[in-house]
Amino acid sequence: MTREAFASLSGSDLRERFETAEYVADDRTVTTVHLALTLGRPLLVEGPPGSGKTELGKVLASAFDTELIRLQCYEGLTAENALYEWNYTKQLLAVQANEGTVAGRSGTGHDHEQSVFDEEYLLERPLLRALTAEGETPPVLLVDEIDRADEEFEAFLLELLSDFQVSIPEFGTVSAEQPPVVVLTSNRTRGLSDALKRRCLYLHVEPPSFEAEYEIVRRKVPELDGAVAAEVCAVVDRLREEAFLKQPGVAETLDWARAVAQLRQDDADAPLSTDEIERTLGCLIKEVEDLDRIDAELLEQLQTAAARAEDRLEA
């Protein structure tokens, strides 16, 4: 599937591909991703941790059967780590063995001497790889947690995101034949610059509704009994009403669903008990302050919510 084919992709086609990849997406997500693909613009996904932002990038890659190039951002990430590095060892050896010259590409080196500033000596890091990737379908470039990177790095990304090209001083400008599909994710630990946001389509993912989450759990944890899965989602739904420091995301729900499925081998369809919830809370609650807030009363309420799960699904 080429970049041109993306442009004529229809919304329903995209939805089918999400379905096949077992990714439950609401209309807003489908429309926004569809726009990002058709318009060929980067997609900035924001939302609380564990709401499936990174997963969206992965699913896009698998849905279009293409390479996923992931760049995990962190504080202190530099252009060298993200873009390219010269293979200094190889360059040094080449120069010593008189196989190459340090003169630049346009330098005055003899014809038989090759410059060491050449593709051969270039170590491609994720961003450059995304630009130079070959293959029919453009790769998916997932720039994960861009808010963790420094602002300088963010500024550096701008050239890449607007023109899909980077300049390497010794080498020239590398531009992508097929612009990659770019997905940026952010947890909003800091605000992103307007310049970056301006270049992206914006998607804010929220915690899914009870029904959507049930759907997700059913797909991702098929080993768990359907009724129990509903109870699991109801409990998480109830927990999200509490003002916790760290709200449980979908990732936590899935963890917990797997844990519950793992623990109950024999009586697979028995309803959730307060004891069971309490023992496995570690999958959902990740802050000690939040854990302290869970008392017998809240556990009781959680169980009540679980008991009503079946009715909610039918309603």
Partner 1 sequence: MHGDSDPTAGGADEGVDTAATHGREDVPDFRMARRHVLIELLRFAAQLRNDGVTVPTSATLHAAQALSVVGLDDRSHVADALRATLLSEPAERDAFESAFPTFWHRLRSGLSAVATDHDGPTAGGDDEREDGPTHADSPVAEDPGVLEDAEPPDIDDSGDGDVEVRIPTERRHVTGDRPAETGESDARRYSAVGGRQRVDIDTAQLTESELTAIDRFVDALSTVPGRRRRQSTAGDRVEARRALRASLSTGGAPIDLPESRPTLSELRCCLLVDVSGSVLDTVDRSVLLAFADRLYDSARETDVFLFDTELVDVTEQFARGGGDPAAALREAEVQWGGGTQIGEAFTTLRARHPYAVDRRTVVVVVSDGLDVGDPDTLADGITWLAQRAGALVWLNPLAVSPAFEPQSRGMSTSVPYLDALFGFAEPADLAEAARQIEQRGLHGQVGYEYDRRLVGADSGGGSA
Pair of tokens at residue 9: 């992709």
Give 88 or 202: the residue with its C-beta nearer to partner 1: 202
b/e string for 111-141 if b means 16 or more Cβ within 10 A? eeebbbbeeebbebbbbbbbbbbeeebbbbb
**Contact status, residue 136 vs residue 2, Cβ threshold 8 Å:** yes
Smallest gap from residue 10 Cβ to partner 1 (A): 6
**Share of the chain residues as helix, strand and coil, in percent rounded to the nearest 5:** 50, 15, 35
Give 44 or 131: the residue with its C-beta nearer to partner 1: 44
CA 109 to CA 80: how far, in whole Å? 27
CA 109 to CA 170: how far, in whole Å? 14
Smallest gap from residue 34 Cβ to partner 1 (A): 7
Give 2 or 173: the residue with its C-beta nearer to partner 1: 2
Smallest gap from residue 119 Cβ to partner 1 (A): 31
Smallest gap from residue 57 Cβ to partner 1 (A): 16
Pair of tokens at residue 203: 């998607």
Give 28 or 293: the residue with its C-beta nearer to partner 1: 28
Give 34 or 220: the residue with its C-beta nearer to partner 1: 34
Smallest gap from residue 13 Cβ to partner 1 (A): 10
Binding site for partner 1 (CB under 8 A): 4, 7-8, 10-11, 27-28, 31-32, 34-36, 38-41, 44, 46, 188, 191-192, 194, 197-198, 200-204
